[in-house]
């Protein structure tokens, strides 16, 4: 059917289908007779809520969007470790997307949380690919079960926000496949998303959106992705190279720039019409699939937003992690005098900042709901006030905000703001029993927890988070969340602290596979709170564990006994350790299952390992291989709490032994914080790309300072090193605007400038200017920044006049038609 439709389309129509027609829509497909072949698709931001903009359109969350349910963010959902719950949330999001006419939701994000300073960590699940892949796949399956397409993102190695549109992720092939591509592979196998979004960044000096190896050989060839590939907004560097590599849809609207480039390439013989048709066929197949679900059904005609709100609260309640509970301080008994203090008592932090920011239809607050519980609430305030001194228990709410955890900007500190730690100090100094509720995008410094009786980690838990927290404090709900990332004692304990984020041209992945718990376990270091850990009110015991081989599978069986009077849950985690002949981490998660056990009962559980779970990606053969030897299979309830271990023997498939100990000694020992330049280069098996920007000369007019050769890839922040005064002036103007906003207390506006302008490559002026800047005009700006101001001005002016003539000509043509 798709082939027959494509035969009716001319080159101009085909190229128009390779990019958006505005910021969020794709083009309609009509034949030469004007018959509608496929309707336009509406893509909308997610991933934890619908951010559909009715009027103002932007990719940063500036414009107002429709009222929608703000579900817990991915970092919270991951702490549930519950695949069925992730699927249920995806289905609920799908219903709401159908209600608002959204065809494809831009989510989920399955990038690895490589370092706790990542500004967008709240949108991602975990530091582990198995957790990210399984939960991401379940989310996709739920979303698409109601006819809304999932767009898995950001493929791949989009692990920092600093220079995210131009940075070069330098990573060895084994780490790339096992750590950063693996969650995409799992999610595609489980959820079969209709679309995958390519990331802005380069990987090993090649932009992802125009990498044939990643988009065609790996994503489609090895992972079996059948849907389309869409660029991140403004992520297309070269439309021709992107299409040849396998990128189908370049977003947003390029105002003819992409269309013209593709048509010119066909004319010059650099690209064939058949190649364009193949790419369009994938997009058209996605459109055709959506048409099957376009007809309204009774199930999707309306959305019960109260029911959606209750589900958001349920997800939050099953994801909150009880990290500390000294002397069973929680749950709070009835009648106890309680004071609720902190900045989030009246204004909870339900999400991070940026393009995922949802206009929540309803937000629960502690101040509004706390009176419904059987406590004597003596205070409910932002600060520790006089009334709070009368309390038996002070519940202190602290954490990050959407000003510090925001798309486009990495976090500046691992610590909480000083005014919050001062608040905690005052609470403890008063001699009261202190319970801390921590809202953050992930791991933060918790050195202040000495003297704290209980600690609840909630993350950014959506609009129903307050209800979930109060239910746990009161004992109505048993906390069942487990950490999906490692909380270290300080930032210095993370192996990549010295070079994260990459500040100039490169982001170096020197730590390789030793991310998060893999590093801590291999080095024998004890973090503050371990990956997979969490407490509850029920007393569950894991016993009667066995490991049996059944053909090419291994089955781990066990029994979980609940010895308490309250229903409880346990997250069973299966880890595999590789032989000493390869470096892969002492303990690597391969499977997990969350189970619920009723009071005074037991439940038998089985978890399975396959042959793939014992494989590693061999860079030399560019394939998965098995190193012969004994592998240790372990069952644990955290990365440090292991209840069972047994070895199995696996045959080798390697043509030769992978011994490279001499050149990679610190990698074999797990001492990646001591990796030398020579070892890192040996790991990459290629020369290191340039880290620093290449300064090409000295500009004596600017006191002999070195300058950069400006091109379309130069970001506005780097124009401060331009040869021409114009480039330096523009960069200075933007920096000045940021400083003024911060001085005036307008940090949100300052963040928007940093997100939307400071890191922007000059090429993106074409797509983000609303058609006001053409490619030729942008080239004039580049020329002016390189010291040829008047020549650049002439080119810019000439191009602007031509753009006006073209616009008038098109208006006349449209009128005639």
167 phi, psi to nearest 5 deg: -65, 155
The whole-number pLDDT of residue 104 equals 95
What angle is formed at CA 97 by the lines to CA 91 and CA 98, rounded to 5 degrees? Answer: 90
CA separation for the pair 320, 719 (Å, rounded): 45
The pair of structure tokens assigned to 462 is 């959506």
Counting Cβ atoms within 10 Å, is residue 239 exposed (0-12), middle (13-18) or buried (19+)?
buried
Q: Tell me whether residue 711 is one of the annotated catalytic residues.
A: no
Rounded Cα distance between 236 and 242, Å, is 7
Q: How far is CA 454 from CA 231, 326, 472, 581, in A?
A: 45, 6, 12, 43
Q: How far lies 737's CA from each of 285, 485, 586, in Å?
A: 46, 37, 49
Q: At 617, is the secondary structure helix, strand, or coil?
A: strand
Return the C-alpha torsion angle 628, 190, 161, 774, nearest 10. Answer: 120
pLDDT of residue 584: 83
What pLDDT, on the 0 to 100 scale, is given for residue 292?
59
The pLDDT of residue 318: 97
What is the reported pTM?
A: 0.95
Strands 705-708, 601-610: pairing is: unpaired
What are the tokens at 803? 């753009």
CA distances from 359 to 354, 363, 431, 667 (A): 12, 10, 40, 46
Do 433 and 48 touch, CB atoms closer than 8 A?
A: no
- Counting as low any pLDDT under 50, the low residues of the chain are 294-295, 298
- One of 128, 232, 618, 673 is an active-site residue; which one? 232
Q: What is the pLDDT of residue 171?
A: 97
pLDDT value, residue 295: 47
Phi first, then psi, for residue 522 (nearest 5°) are: -65, -40
The pLDDT of residue 298:
46
Q: Find out whether 803 and 815 touch, Cβ atoms under 8 Å.
A: no
Question: For the segment 107-157, what is each residue's pLDDT rounded down to a tens digit?
Answer: 999 999 999 999 999 999 999 999 999 999 999 999 999 999 999 999 999
Name the maximum alpha-carbon separation found in the chain. 83
- How far apart are the C-alpha atoms of 394 and 417, rounded to whole Å? 19
Output DSSP code: residue 179.
I
* Residues ≥6 apart with Cβ < 8 Å to 350: 70, 360, 363, 460, 461, 462, 463, 465
Report the first-to-last Cα separation within the chain, whole angstroms.
29
Q: What local confidence, expressed as pLDDT, does residue 628 receive?
A: 86
Q: What local confidence, expressed as pLDDT, does residue 256 receive?
A: 87
- pLDDT recorded at residue 701: 55
């Amino acid at each position: 059917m798709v082939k027959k439709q494509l035969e009716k389309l001319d080159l101009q129509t085909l190229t128009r289908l390779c990019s958006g027609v505005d910021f969020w829509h794709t083009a309609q497909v009509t034949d030469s007779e004007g018959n509608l072949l496929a309707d336009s698709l509406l893509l909308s931001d997610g991933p934890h809520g619908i951010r559909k903009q009715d009027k103002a359109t932007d990719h940063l969350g500036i414009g107002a969007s429709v009222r929608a349910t703000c579900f817990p963010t991915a970092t919270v959902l991951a702490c549930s470790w519950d695949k069925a719950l992730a699927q249920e949330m995806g289905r609920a999001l799908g219903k709401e997307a159908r209600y608002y006419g959204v065809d494809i939701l831009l989510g989920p994000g399955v990038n690895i949380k490589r370092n706790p300073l990542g500004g967008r960590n709240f949108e991602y699940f975990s530091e582990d690919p198995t957790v990210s892949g399984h939960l991401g796949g379940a989310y996709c399956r739920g979303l698409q079960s109601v006819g809304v397409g999932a767009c898995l993102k950001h493929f791949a190695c989009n692990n920092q926000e600093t220079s995210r549109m131009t940075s070069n992720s330098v990573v060895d092939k084994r780490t790339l496949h096992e750590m950063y591509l693996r969650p995409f592979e799992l999610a595609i196998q489980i959820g079969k998303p209709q679309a995958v979004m390519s990331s802005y960044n380069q990987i090993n000096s090649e932009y992802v959106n125009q990498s044939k190896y990643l988009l065609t050989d790996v994503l489609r060839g090895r992972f079996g992705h059948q849907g389309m590939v869409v660029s991140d907004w403004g992520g297309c560097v070269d439309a021709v190279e992107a299409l040849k590599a396998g990128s189908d849809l370049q977003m947003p609207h390029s105002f003819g720039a992409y269309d013209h480039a593709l048509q010119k390439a066909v004319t010059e013989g650099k690209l064939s019409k058949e190649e364009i048709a193949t790419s369009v066929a994938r997009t058209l197949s996605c459109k055709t699939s959506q048409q099957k679900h376009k007809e309204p059904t009774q199930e999707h005609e309306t959305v019960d937003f109260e029911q959606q709100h209750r589900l958001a609260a349920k997800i939050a309640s099953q994801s909150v992690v009880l990290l500390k509970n000294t002397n069973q301080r929680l749950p709070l008994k009835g009648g106890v005098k309680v004071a609720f203090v902190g900045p989030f008592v009246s204004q909870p932090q339900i999400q991070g900042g940026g393009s995922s920011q949802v206009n929540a239809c309803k937000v629960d607050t502690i101040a509004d709901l706390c009176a419904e519980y059987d406590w004597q609430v003596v205070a409910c305030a932002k600060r520790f006030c006089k009334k709070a001194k009368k309390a038996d228990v002070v519940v202190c709410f602290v954490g990050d905000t959407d000003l510090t955890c925001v798309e486009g900007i990495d976090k500046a500190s691992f610590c909480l703001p000083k005014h919050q730690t001062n608040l905690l100090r005052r609470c403890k100094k008063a001699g009261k029993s202190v319970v801390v509720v921590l809202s953050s995008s992930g791991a933060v410094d918790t050195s202040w927890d000495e003297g704290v009786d209980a600690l609840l980690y909630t993350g950014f838990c959506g609009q129903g988070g307050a209800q979930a927290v109060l239910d746990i404090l009161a004992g109505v709900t048993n906390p069942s969340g487990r950490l999906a990332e490692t909380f270290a004692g300080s930032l210095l304990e993370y192996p990549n602290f010295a070079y994260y984020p990459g500040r100039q041209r490169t982001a170096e992945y020197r730590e390789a596979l030793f991310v998060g718990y893999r590093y801590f376990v291999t080095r024998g270091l004890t973090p503050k709170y371990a990956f997979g850990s969490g407490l509850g009110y029920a007393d569950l015991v894991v016993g009667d564990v066995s490991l049996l081989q059944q053909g090419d599978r291994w089955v781990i069986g066990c029994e979980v006994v609940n010895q308490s009077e309250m229903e409880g849950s346990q997250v069973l985690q299966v880890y595999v350790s590789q032989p000493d002949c390869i470096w892969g981490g002492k303990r690597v998660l391969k499977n997990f299952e969350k189970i619920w056990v009723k009071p005074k009962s037991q439940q038998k559980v089985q978890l399975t390992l396959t042959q793939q779970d014992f494989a590693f990606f061999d860079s030399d053969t560019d394939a998965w291989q098995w190193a012969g030897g004994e592998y240790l299979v372990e069952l644990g309830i955290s990365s440090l709490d292991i209840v069972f271990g047994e070895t199995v023997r696996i045959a080798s498939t390697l043509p030769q032994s992978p011994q490279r100990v001499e050149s990679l000694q610190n990698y074999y020992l797990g001492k990646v914080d001591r990796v030398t330049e020579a070892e890192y280069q040996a790991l990459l098996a290629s020369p290191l790309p340039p880290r620093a920007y290449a300064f090409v000369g000295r500009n004596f007019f600017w006191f002999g300072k070195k300058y950069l050769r400006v091109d379309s890839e130069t970001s506005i922040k780097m124009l401060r090193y331009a040869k021409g005064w114009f480039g330096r002036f523009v960069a200075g103007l933007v920096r000045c605007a940021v400083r003024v906003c911060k001085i005036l207390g307008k940090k949100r506006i300052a963040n928007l400038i940093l997100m939307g302008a400071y890191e922007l490559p000059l090429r993106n002026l074409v797509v983000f200017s609303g058609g006001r800047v053409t490619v030729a005009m942008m080239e004039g700006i580049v020329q002016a920044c390189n010291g040829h101001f008047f020549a650049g001005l002439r080119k810019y002016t000439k191009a602007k006049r031509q753009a006006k003539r073209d616009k008038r000509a098109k208006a006349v043509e449209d009128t005639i038609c």
